[in-house]
Structure 1
Amino acid sequence: MADPTPPVPSHAALDWREDGQPVSTAFDDIYFSTASGLEETRYVFITQNRLPERWAALTGSDIFSIGETGFGTGLNFLATWQQWQRLAPGAPRLHFVSVEKYPLHRKDLERALALWPELATFSEQLIEQYPPLLTPGVHRLKFDGGRVQLTLSIGEASDAFTQLQTEDPQRDAMIDAWFLDGFAPSKNPDMWRPELFSAIARLSADNATFATFTCAGIVKRGLKGVGFEIEKVPGFGHKREMLRGQLASADPQASAGQQYTQTPWHLPDAPTRGQPCTVAIIGAGIAGATLARALAERGLKVAVFEQGAGPGSGASGNDQGILYAKLSPKPGPNGDFNLQALQFALRYYLCQCPDAVHFDGLLQLAQSEKEQGLQQQIADTLRGWDADTLVRPVSAQEATDLSGVPLDVPGLYLPNAGWLEPRNVCSTLLEHPSITLHSSQRIESIEHRENHWQLSRHRETFHADVLALCTANGIRDFARTKPLPLQPIRGQVSFAQATDRSRKLKIALCGEGYIAPAHRHHHNPQHSFGATFKLKQTDTEVRAEEQQENLDTLRKLLPDIAADFAQNPMTARAALRAATLDYLPMAGPVADWHSLADTYAPLRKNRKQLIPQRCHYQPGLFVLGGLGSRGFTYAPLAAEVVASWISGEVMPVEGELVRALHPMRFAIRALGKDRPLNF
């Protein structure tokens, strides 16, 4: 029988010396040089990897990617970011990819980085974005308007690097320089094992360099074994020697493209890294807006086509949107993505559109015994993490005190979540010099001709190298994406004028329904509440019975406020969400349906067999949809996934989630169950 007690998370255990230096108690080793950790970083990693001269040669939309073993206090990242800002030209981007088995608590990170006041401008931004729940998996942080990206993979080093791989040799080989840091091999031999060096080889770009403080034999042998040329050079401070080198020839076993560990149904043709291209996006709701912004920040020219009068004309067009996630006590794609998407979204909106967000707090209330039991399991799972800044359990009395209105049920309190202004968010995200918005433009057909996409409307045509469909249920209006199993869900939101009682509501409430605090930007402040959930219903006329349904749902939570609302005229808006069968978004490329069906036909007889072949994909065709009722939570991270597919970058989520979000997952499941694909 499984142990019902959730595992205690593994954070770094530290002692602090009198001079302020942190020491790992697990490894009995320091995090940086007591002489000058910052100068050591600059000498060992920046100078010995020849980064200043290599950065000076970058042009246009080039990406320079650095891989690091052992994020630790983040000192190497911050020192690199500082030098990048000082030395690198304006357009190229820096992508820093690091792994860490034992991440620091935020309070320890602050204390350690306080030793380096000259990095304060950078360390303050890192501390502000440092995820409160650095759970095992991949975490993406963005700085300088997306020009600097940090991808932090939590786990044992070789495993953490492995989970960043897609098993596409061309796509995975993207690290230009390695910072082989971490605790000394004599203190931490388990990290410096053959699997780590094989992972490093698979992730290395042509002529990748490395630098490391150590000259240990296990490191020299490991690097030579996967194709690196090794050179000894003088070390820093009291260290007589260190190693640096360059990849001469990759280990064929480490980089062989045909050695798949699972069927590569998810892999399209990899793009040429850093190649400039134009992108057309159909749809200017939250999916299209977040994807457009992600691509524009990568230096791509983006044209967005919206059939409505402006951004957020469809399901993204309500007055108020609630930012919440379906947290789960169980590991798995749904729970993992919800947690990662929530943390990413909270950072994202405060950075991208602070004037359109109201993150004053949110309560997810447990209105049933089942929900109370689930929330208790979530609270138990989070115990031991730095979770309080993200979510914590509260009693009914605490919920009352926090919300300003009487509540008789407990819940989970998210102090930094809340609500936002959907149309304002979409419009703000699309305000970028590399984005052109075409409103009132209904695209009627799409065709791929002569290596580009042609979009047609009446007698007008538009061209782009890449096409992304972000039109919710409209994704199925095009023959090339019609087989994708999206289902419409009608939702009606109610609006009521604020009353003396309702004005006391200070934060957003979610339970069986939701209500947001009064939107004070209106001439007459009003609340949004609801919303109904009508699966496979597609009309958008306002219905009196759904208005009553929303009132009845609110009455269970706030009976007095619901009674006040019922005494006055109310308005409503109905729109269609688009959901998938497993309620995870679709974020990725679209295969050629015939090729996929033929290549993976053997799955009909044995769905578990490994088929080491790739099928053809429709060139440059991507979708971002199926966001359901959590679009504003899901869209920012899902858009990063699609943008990483398009630009050929390290993914912002682990490989399991890349496949769990992939649009073709449903076709593969259908083949495994010997069902038709309906194309």
Structure 2
Amino acid sequence: MSKPGKQADIQWREDGQPLSRAYDDIYFSSASGLEETRYVFLQQNALAERWANLNEHATFTIGETGFGTGLNFLAAWELWQETAPKSARLHFITVEKSPLHPQDLRRALALWPQLEAFSQTFIDGYPPLLAEGVHRLQFGPVSLTLIIGEASEALQSLRLQQECRDRLVDAWFLDGFAPAKNPDMWTPKLFGNMASLSRTGATFSTFTCAGLVKRGLRDAGFALNKVPGFGSKREMLCGTLETLHHNDFKTTPWHLPATAPQRPESVTIIGGGISGATIARALAERGVRVQLFERGPAPGSGGSGNDQGILYGKLSPKPGPNGDFNLNALMFAQRYYRQYCPQLAHFNGLLQLAQTDKEQQLQQQISDALAQYRDQNLAQAISAEEASTLAGVALPFSGLYFPGAGWLEPQKVCTSLLEHENITRQHCHEVEMLARRQGLWHLRAAGKDIEAETVILCGANDIRHFAPAAVLPLRPIRGQVSRALATEASSQLRIALCGEGYITPAHEGRQSFGATFKLKESATELRESEHRENLQTLSDLLPDLAAEFSTQAFTGRAALRAATPDYLPIAGPIPNWESLQSTYANLRKNRKLLIGELADYQPGLYAMGGLGSRGFTYAPLTAELLASWIMGEALPVSAELALALHPARFAIRDLGKNRPSVGN
């Protein structure tokens, strides 16, 4: 688990203004913080005029160096709604070393009742766990990327080392505590990262005229203008990036296609499960026309087609790609389903029970890690007695309680996400062929030849059926879920339970429990033996309920999950594997070698898969990451984590260990 951000220590003055004890400085002007924001940041960056002239479907990106109370973000959001085209999107990237506790945030923003509609929506989406790293919050066409950590390092964490992908920011709000109070933030490294993330002609504004700020901005390539300051401040700075300093690769850029990302007019998606549904919705929301092919009769006909499924993540007490992704994916998914299909997201809590000594030890470590966070609302350790009270049934195990998680109606979720004017669906269409000819992808489905500009492979294990993705190390895992008629006793269960298995509360007179886990099996027929296996797993958790269920004839469903060797999803562009092998062949001799060349990638071809048994938790954030790759947007995760999910990572690892290539 990532380290906690050091939360802001707030002193509330008699006039109701928040003051940072650590820096002995105010968060905004005592005269009028909102008017200061509008003058210093919105007006000096000429945002109203620039936004009124945006093209349809344009994305405008703001970068900010001190999030504080979020006042600048909310003021920008308000102005965006008033001036920008309805089809355009605003991306607000901000950093904060010491995030405010939700209670302090609510109190600070209450000073601006005119922003209440925006501030309430923002507070409702505020991360329940303020961990260091990247947090993506989505508010319709407005995205907030909040990076908790030291400012220069936080901005550095987004850089992919390619100018066409890194130079995204159109305007900077250079905010934060005054240089005299907080000199550690205002460093040459900060200004250098600002410049590296800026488009040509990007603007900036800041309340300060301090000498180190002027020198740092000039050295980074910004031209400066002094203008009258706000209120009692005599002067402030604004300006434009005029000189571009090109940066060399710091690490081998195996993850980067050589061509710059181009916004596609249309995208073809193969696979209509939760992977296909989430990436289709992400692109459709960006104004891209999406055509989706699903071989089954309805969305979610494969592994995403259960009647009930739980939303949970596998937290880890230690930092690392798996634990960090699980944490961020869970928090993102909880917000996502509440926004897009609230009627299908039954998020009234989930209990992750410790049924073994090993799991008890792990949960104790997670509990200790969570204890470092002040009043976090993601999960809490509870006793068996407390678990029983929450669940409504007697439980012999302690566990972790996730108040914002719960269960979903999977197939209906997939259908709901695909109900968008920019999405067309073709069911009972199995794509039999995919080939590149004359600058386009050619597909054959239901006897028809189809041309596609951009293709995304989302068909779980079927991804490997297409030659350009055949080497991806996806492996099938059979899982069978059992369904039973709810009894009077089982209907007392109020929330979803998971441990060695899982069981959902009653819905429409039935309950789901399971699921089996059969590696490398590809058959999908129902098996009575696996119903009995699920019943035994349930008996270890709730023996009385299992005994009641045992007299029934179960229904259920068997399907295949697709997993990767490292149990992280795949999301990103697909390389030309021969080019990747030849370009980076010398990694076989030295895996730390810096090879500053770019391999060829398959033009307009991407993959999203390998979500394993936590598909509905992983899919929303994975789709947001893939949409960012395709559209050339700022990432919703750190660059390091994006590489940990990249389709080429397995081939690069094999090169570094001088092993035979994947798929051979």
Matched, 1:69 2:53: no
Q: Residues of 1 paired with 2:468 and 2:389: CA distance?
A: 53
Matched, 1:262 2:258: no
Bigger shift: residues 537-546 or 640-649: 537-546
Amino acid at match of 2:392: G
Query: Residue 237 of structure 1 aligns with which residue?
Result: 231
CA contact (8 A) 1:60 1:91 kept: yes
The 5 A counterparts of 1:38-437 are 38-144=34-140, 147-250=141-244, 252=245, 255-256=246-247, 259-272=248-261, 275-386=263-374, 388-437=376-425
Amino acid at match of 1:177: A
Amino acid at match of 2:40: V
Query: Residue 461 of structure 1 aligns with which residue?
Result: 449
Bigger shift: residues 616-625 or 386-395: 386-395
Q: Residues of 2 paired with 1:421 and 1:20: CA distance?
A: 45
Cα gap change, 1:168 to 1:184, in 2 (>3 Å): same
What's the CA shift string for 1:161-186, capped at 9, x where partnerless?
Answer: 00011111111001000000000111
Amino acid at match of 2:554: M
SS in 2 for 1:624: strand
Task: Give the Å deviation of 1:269.
Answer: 3.4
Query: Residue 555 of structure 1 aligns with which residue?
Result: 539
Q: Residues of 1 paired with 2:360 and 2:488: CA distance?
A: 31
CA contact (8 A) 1:468 1:622 kept: yes
Bigger shift: residues 230-239 or 607-616: 607-616
Q: Residues of 1 paired with 2:176 and 2:104: CA distance?
A: 17
Q: Residues of 2 paired with 1:272 and 1:263: CA distance?
A: 19
What's the CA shift string for 1:266-293, capped at 9, x where partnerless?
Answer: 11135456x3421000011000000000
Q: Residues of 2 paired with 1:94 and 1:463: CA distance?
A: 32
The 5 A counterparts of 1:519-530 are 519-520=507-508, 525-530=509-514
Amino acid at match of 1:186: A
Task: Give the Å deviation of 1:48.
Answer: 0.3
Task: Give the Å deviation of 1:675.
Answer: 1.8
Task: Give the Å deviation of 1:464.
Answer: 2.2
Task: Give the Å deviation of 1:450.
Answer: 2.7
Amino acid at match of 2:86: G
Cα gap change, 1:577 to 1:310, in 2 (>3 Å): same
Task: Give the Å deviation of 1:571.
Answer: 1.2
Amino acid at match of 1:335: G
Task: Give the Å deviation of 1:559.
Answer: 0.2
| Runs of 5+ consecutive residues of structure 1 not aligned to the other structure | none
CA contact (8 A) 2:5 2:149 kept: no
CA contact (8 A) 2:5 2:132 kept: no
Task: Give the Å deviation of 1:656.
Answer: 1.0
Q: Residues of 2 paired with 1:36 and 1:203: CA distance?
A: 31
Task: Give the Å deviation of 1:387.
Answer: 5.4
Amino acid at match of 2:21: T
Amino acid at match of 1:210: F
Task: Give the Å deviation of 1:384.
Answer: 3.3
SS in 1 for 2:431: coil
CA contact (8 A) 2:258 2:598 kept: no
Amino acid at match of 1:590: I
What TM-score comes out, normalization by structure 2 length?
A: 0.98
Q: Residues of 2 paired with 1:276 and 1:577: CA distance?
A: 30
Task: Give the Å deviation of 1:430.
Answer: 0.5
Q: Residues of 2 paired with 1:309 and 1:387: CA distance?
A: 46
Query: Residue 487 of structure 1 aligns with which residue?
Result: 475
Task: Give the Å deviation of 1:11.
Answer: 0.5
Amino acid at match of 2:586: P
Bigger shift: residues 455-464 or 494-503: 455-464
Q: Residues of 1 paired with 2:542 and 2:556: CA distance?
A: 19
SS in 2 for 1:236: coil
Task: Give the Å deviation of 1:498.
Answer: 0.3
Task: Give the Å deviation of 1:7.
Answer: 6.6
CA contact (8 A) 1:270 1:648 kept: no
Cα gap change, 1:270 to 1:383, in 2 (>3 Å): farther
Amino acid at match of 1:394: I
What's the CA shift string for 1:404-433, capped at 9, x where partnerless?
Answer: 111011000001110000011001100111
SS in 2 for 1:476: helix
Amino acid at match of 1:661: L
The 5 A counterparts of 1:630-669 are 630-669=614-653
Matched, 1:586 2:570: yes
Runs of 4+ residues deviating >3 angstroms: 5-9, 269-273
Quote the sequence identity (%).
Answer: 61
Matched, 1:33 2:29: yes
Q: Residues of 2 paired with 1:449 and 1:160: CA distance?
A: 42
Q: Residues of 1 paired with 2:222 and 2:271: CA distance?
A: 47
CA contact (8 A) 2:58 2:89 kept: yes
CA contact (8 A) 1:17 1:23 kept: yes
Q: Residues of 2 paired with 1:7 and 1:402: CA distance?
A: 29
The 5 A counterparts of 1:621-632 are 621-632=605-616
Q: Residues of 2 paired with 1:72 and 1:511: CA distance?
A: 39
